[in-house]
Amino acid sequence: MSWSLNIGTVAGTVVRIHLTFLLFLAWIFAASYAQGGSASAYDSLFFMVLLFTCVLLHEFGHIFTARAFGVTTPYVTLLPIGGVAQLERIPEEPRQEFLIAIAGPLVNVAITLLLVAFAGANLNASAASAIDNSQIAMIDRLAAVNLFIALFNMIPAFPMDGGRVLRAALASRMGYVRATEIAASIGQVVAFALGFLGLLYNPILIFIAIFVYLAASSEAHMVALRAVSRGVPVSHAMVTQFATLAPEAHVEEAVQTLLATSQGEFPVVDAAGQPVGLLGRGDIIKAIKTLGPDARVAEVMNTDLPTIGHRRSLEDAFKLLQEKQAVAVAVTDAAGALIGLVTSETIAEMVMLQNALPRGATLGPWNRPSSV
Ligand SMILES: [Zn+2]
């Protein structure tokens, strides 16, 4: 998380800049300075800032459309390869996903049209192929690059918008899981093609190809995982054997527990057995360094530990884990006492189980109508 800087909040969404993006700007500046002196360096820098403003507007196209369907977006992050809006969830309703996905590229098309209609921008091939050429008017380059962003994002591969448009189109005809599998396979073929083009023409394409390939696999995994976890009560998959700490225990004791177990995260439980926080390995090490062994667990624990009732589904627990970007979700019984944990390890184990089963099979006994 510390790799990103917050630069402000727009309509409830925090805008973050990844440090690699700042390095990227510095690199652009230095490269054009070496080529054409300071005038050229400032020209390039200004152009990049305009360009990424357009990328940000693209992301807000997604964000505002998602909001119309009741989906909020806590963060949008600018990376050298573009922007990433972290929607709280992606609607599984094909029409909604389609509209959210297409809204981004449409923003860039609109910017291009506005630049041509009102700023006299000239759309021509030379501007598109030489966006770093300061001999060509900046407005022409900006119009060309917006059109390029729109087209590039419509490549039918996750995490490109085109991948989501494709899935939405497929999902209206077949199931969501099958549609994702097909869209992800097409995405991986596209990734290979991009990587090959990258080898021939432009090494940046190779990075994008790797990114697309990984995103396609992880999207397919997540969706399959959600499908597998849908009918499963959280109490059937949660971790039930773990050490806990009391809020009034000393950090010293936390260190002993850390050494005695293979756990990395310790739920903190009050006298009534209710979860009140979570203490991670990193927190323990930091506390012993800054506050010493006599500090209390309650002073150093992380208090926003999401909780979920034991009758809810594993899918809900995964959603909570994702939405809150938490390391663990506490599972509680009817009295609110801690009885289990769902962590990213639970996800990893579910993925392994799911991969071990034949395609389309569900996790047998879990899938019978249960007490959920
Ligand atoms: Zn987009």
pLDDT tens-place values along the chain, 372 residues long: 457 888 888 888 889 888 888 888 888 888 888 887 888 888 888 888 888 889 899 999 999 999 999 888 888 888 776 777 878 777 878 899 999 999 999 999 999 999 988 877 777 666 555 555 666 677 888 888 888 888 888 988 877 889 889 989 998 888 888 888 888 888 888 888 888 888 888 777 787 788 778 777 777 777 777 777 777 788 888 888 889 999 999 999 999 999 998 888 899 999 999 999 999 998 899 888 998 888 999 999 988 889 999 888 888 888 888 777 788 899 999 899 999 998 877 777 776 776 676 655 555 444 444 343
**Cβ of 97: how many Cβ atoms within 10 Å?**
22
Distance (Å, whole) CA 350 – CA 21: 35
CA of 159 to the centre of ligand 1 (A): 8
Secondary structure letter of residue 121 according to DSSP: -
Q: For residue 366, what pLDDT is reported?
A: 45
Q: For residue 329, what pLDDT is reported?
A: 92
CA of 42 to the centre of ligand 1 (A): 28
CA of 101 to the centre of ligand 1 (A): 6
- Amino acid residing at 189: V
Q: For residue 135, what pLDDT is reported?
A: 64
SS3 5: strand
User: Residue 366 is encoded by which pair of tokens?
Assistant: 């879990």
Q: For residue 104, what pLDDT is reported?
A: 93
Q: For residue 140, what pLDDT is reported?
A: 84
Sequence-ordered alpha helix ranges (H) in 135-279: 138-153, 161-171, 176-200, 203-229, 234-237, 251-260
Place of tokens 């009034």: 248
CA of 119 to the centre of ligand 1 (A): 25
Nearest to 235 by CA among 324, 317, 351: 317
Nearest to 78 by CA among 25, 153, 138: 25
- Amino acid residing at 33: Y
- Cite the beta strand spans of 11-124 per DSSP E: 13-18, 75-79, 82-86
What's phi and psi for 327, nearest 5 deg? -90, -20
Q: Reading across the β-sheet that carries 328-332, which strands appear in turn?
A: 307-309, 328-332, 338-343
CA of 143 to the centre of ligand 1 (A): 17
Is the overall model pTM greater than 0.75, yes or no? no
- Which contiguous run of DSSP H or E holds residue 284? helix 281-290
Q: Which residues are catalytic?
A: 59
CA of 63 to the centre of ligand 1 (A): 10
Distance (Å, whole) CA 112 – CA 122: 10
Domains belonging to the chain, first-starting first, are 1-154 (no CATH), 156-229 (no CATH), 234-367 (3.10.580.10)
- Amino acid residing at 340: G
SS3 155: coil
Distance (Å, whole) CA 347 – CA 345: 5
CA of 79 to the centre of ligand 1 (A): 13
